[in-house]
Structure 1
């Protein structure tokens, strides 16, 4: 489920008539089902053809404590509507250049709640731009995460 957390200002930069542009945050909530290899994916609505990505925040919620959870994250961008998490992870482009295995993602594990911030300040110019996330569970326990994209 994708939802706009703070709708404010225009999404795309206006080249013909520059004006102050305020940022907004779009958050995606995902649930990794219990069991290794289970996955979930989510993507943002179409956001235009030209925008800045200022940062990405990833929060993971483990449930009861103490517990160990982990898996793979794929932070991607592309156009069109992805059919599956595997399609997104292999056909879309990687936002964060971290690779682990055949697909462009990163592996992590945590014993408690986990937060990671990526400072980007990167301009994207693509038709029908969307951001997306695919997660894969690597442990028997289910977990949830929220990924927030700060854009302008």
Structure 2
């Protein structure tokens, strides 16, 4: 699959779509196919092309990319909630929704939307684990996951 780089980000760039996803779960499958489809349709999008990041805070470049996007697609996958980075981005995305009217579209990739909403299964386990080290942030992350998962979106587990 072709690689799409975010390294040429300009602070005042305008994106039509920001992709929020857990790389280990979907980068080389669903997300890369989605990015390729957006590219073919000449839709300007932001995708994180880095496998690993240092630190827990969202960089100014990512924060600007979120704020300067019309739409964010949040791809909930099995281990999404175990990523502090994904959860911090989600909080920023929902802030942008409230402040700028950004459209947020959740995609439930091989996870039950009910498990995401109610934070059961892998989502519940991830939050229990995060409580040990990030108790002050977990409520905000839980609230963000609940809010985003209640939005109208796409469930990849539905039969066609």
* Same-fold status (TM-score > 0.5): no
Answer 1 or 2: which has greater strand percent. 1
Q: How would you bin the TM-score normalised by the shorter chain?
A: under 0.3
* Larger relative contact order (Cα-Cα within 8 Å, sequence gap ≥ 6): 1
Which structure would you say has the larger Rg? 1
TM-score, normalised to structure 2's length? 0.26
